[in-house]
């Protein structure tokens, strides 16, 4: 197992380097100039060039062939991408072009908000999706199976932005039950310790802040959970149907075991490996795909942050945020792979 983990961790290096290269290149292909975005379209050309020089945007993207022609071998590698990798090697993600604030400081504030939202969404998806898939498989072709599968189809097909707007219209505007957006109401005080507002409310014993935080989490959690909930339900049903046809399941029934025991102890345990894979993939997808949800509900997380940075052509922010999401994604997949050995003793990593 240790050798397998070391190999996987080493394989992360080229993966993350590839992510940095693709994001770096794609951001430069987007029309627009950060200097023009900062100064305005009618700014003087000399002012734009001065800002570009200060930000290093006038340097070559990857390699400086002119420097090589002049025999300047050190200058050949003095490019925007090499400088970015050099800072990254020292743990420095750079500063925001517009806010002039270190990206690491922004991540400390915004990443916990995205993680909190994603974890609540995934928890809701598992709580509803797994039982719905089990019931559908155990009662195949029944009314419950039909309801569950139709609900899954609607959930996976429904656009998040439309569902979010409908939630705001119903629960915030018409019924006035829930706040429209944000993480915490302005009139509620909370001592921030970890930047996870639910945890901070519990640690400080602040019940009003806890209730207010949960109210703010309700609508974005439901909107973000619909797609993974539907996918988990369908995968659970499919995997359970395969396992329920096995001989050891018929043997368990022949022994007179109750249906609940057969489903929970025998069928679900063996059918859960594909479901674990889907949960891991969807967890990484939630972290990367929360941009729409965070934008609609004004959730101050990493998705909204990256979205605003793309509009402003804030290259360092997009590169740093995307790299963090990629890092989380690959580590979640690694944890899923490792969990296989504990869920199924037949699996061994040599």
**Domain ranges (residues) in the chain:** 2-89, 106-343
Q: State the Cα–Cα distance between residues 328 and 148, nearest whole angstrom.
A: 31
pTM: 0.80
Q: How far apart are CA 100 and CA 92, in angstroms?
A: 14
Find the range with the poorest average confidence among 42-46, 114-118, 281-285: 42-46
Average pLDDT value for residue range 85-104 = 78
Q: Model confidence at 63, in pLDDT bands (50, 70, 90)?
A: low
Distance CA(347)–CA(306), nearest Å, equals 39
**Which pLDDT belongs to residue 80?**
75
For residue 69, pLDDT beyond 60: no
Residues 20 and 321: beta-carbon distance below 8 Å: no
pLDDT at 276 over 80: yes
Angle among Cα 121, 301, 27 to the nearest 5 degrees reads 115
| pLDDT at residue 37, rounded to an integer | 66
Does residue 158 sit in helix, strand or coil?
Answer: coil
Residues shown for the chain: 350
Structure tokens at 276: 């674990």
Q: In this structure, what DSSP letter does residue 265 have?
A: I
Residue with tokens 């009618």, as numbered in its chain? 42
Fold annotation for 106-343: MetI-like fold (1.10.3720)
- In which element (H, E) is residue 250 found? helix 247-254
348 or 250, which is more confident: 250
Work out the percent of the chain whose per-residue pLDDT is above 90. 13
According to the model, what pLDDT value does residue 203 have? 92
């Amino acid at each position: 197992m240790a050798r397998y983990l070391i190999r996987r961790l080493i394989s992360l290096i080229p993966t993350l380097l590839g992510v940095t290269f693709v994001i770096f290149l794609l951001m430069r292909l987007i029309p627009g100039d950060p200097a023009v975005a900062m100064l305005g379209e009618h700014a003087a050309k000399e002012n734009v060039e001065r800002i570009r020089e200060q930000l290093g945007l006038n340097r070559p993207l990857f390699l400086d062939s002119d420097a090589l022609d002049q025999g300047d071998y050190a200058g050949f590698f003095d490019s925007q991408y090499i400088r970015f990798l050099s800072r990254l090697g020292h743990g420095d993600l750079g500063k925001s072009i517009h806010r002039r604030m270190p990206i690491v400081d922004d991540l400390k504030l915004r990443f916990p908000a995205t993680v909190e939202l994603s974890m609540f969404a995934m928890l809701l998806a598992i709580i509803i999706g797994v039982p719905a898939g089990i019931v559908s498989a155990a009662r195949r072709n029944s009314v419950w199976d039909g309801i569950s599968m139709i609900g899954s189809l609607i959930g996976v097909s429904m656009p998040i932005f439309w569902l979010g707007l409908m939630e705001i219209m119903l629960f915030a505007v018409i019924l006035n039950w829930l706040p429209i957006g944000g993480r915490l109401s302005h009139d509620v005080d909370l001592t921030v310790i970890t930047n996870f507002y639910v945890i901070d409310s519990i640690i400080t014993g602040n019940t009003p802040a806890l209730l207010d935080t949960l109210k703010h989490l309700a609508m974005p959690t439901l909107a973000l959970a619909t797609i993974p909930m539907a996918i988990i339900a369908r995968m659970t049903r499919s995997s359970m149907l395969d396992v329920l046809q096995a001989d050891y399941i018929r043997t368990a029934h022949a022994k007179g075991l109750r249906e609940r025991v057969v489903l929970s102890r025998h069928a679900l345990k063996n059918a859960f490996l594909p479901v674990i894979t889907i949960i891991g993939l969807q967890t990484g997808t939630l972290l990367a795909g929360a941009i729409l949800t965070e934008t609609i509900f004004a959730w101050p997380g990493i998705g909204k942050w990256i979205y605003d940075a793309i509009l402003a052509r804030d290259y360092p922010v997009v590169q740093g945020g995307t790299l963090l999401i990629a890092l989380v994604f690959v580590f979640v997949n690694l944890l899923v792979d490792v969990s296989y050995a504990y869920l199924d003793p037949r699996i061994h990593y040599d």
